[in-house]
Structure 1
Amino acid sequence: MAPSSYQAPSRGDKSEKTYSQTKQSNLASSSTTIAKLLAEKGSDVITVRPNDTIANVVTILRDKGIGAVVVTDQNRAVKGILSERDIVRRMADTPGQTLPQAVEDLMTKEVQSCAPGDSMISVLQRMTDGKFRHMPVMEGDSLAGMITVGDVVNFRLKELEYEALQMKQMIVG
Structure 2
Amino acid sequence: MPESYRPPLRKDDKSEQSHSQTTQSNISVMKATVQDVLDRKGGKLISVRPQDGLQVAVEALRDNRIGALVVTDANGALQGILSERDIVRKLADAPGRTLGHNVEDIMTSKVELCKPDELLVSVLRRMTEGRFRHMPVADDSGLLGIVTIGDVVSHRLNELEHEALQLKQLIVG
TM-score bucket (shorter structure):
0.7 to 0.9
Compute the displacement of 1:141 (Å): 4.9
Match of residue 56 from structure 1: 56
Distance (Å, rounded) in 2 between the aligned partners of 1:41 and 1:122: 19
The answer to whether structure 1 residue 166 and structure 2 residue 169 are counterparts is: no
Distance (Å, rounded) in 1 between the aligned partners of 2:136 and 2:75: 16
Distance (Å, rounded) in 1 between the aligned partners of 2:148 and 2:140: 20
Match of residue 75 from structure 1: 75
Match of residue 94 from structure 2: 94
Q: How is 1:83-122 mapped onto 2 (pairs within 5 angstroms)?
A: 83-122=83-122
Q: TM-score, normalised by structure 1?
A: 0.83
Distance (Å, rounded) in 2 between the aligned partners of 1:138 and 1:150: 19
Q: Which amino acid aligns with 1:172?
A: V
Cα RMSD (Å):
1.4
Q: Deviations over 1:57-84 (max 9, x none)?
A: 1111111110000000010000000000
Match of residue 7 from structure 2: none
Max Rg structure: 2
Q: How is 1:145-156 mapped onto 2 (pairs within 5 angstroms)?
A: 145-156=145-156
Q: TM-score, normalised by structure 2?
A: 0.83
Compute the displacement of 1:139 (Å): 1.1
Distance (Å, rounded) in 2 between the aligned partners of 1:58 and 1:52: 11
Compute the displacement of 1:112 (Å): 0.4
Contact 1:77-1:141 at 8 Å conserved across structures = no
Distance (Å, rounded) in 1 between the aligned partners of 2:44 and 2:111: 18
Instruction: State the aligned residue count.
Output: 149
Compute the displacement of 1:36 (Å): 1.2
Tell me which stretches of 4 or more aligned residues in structure 1 moved more than 2 Å.
none
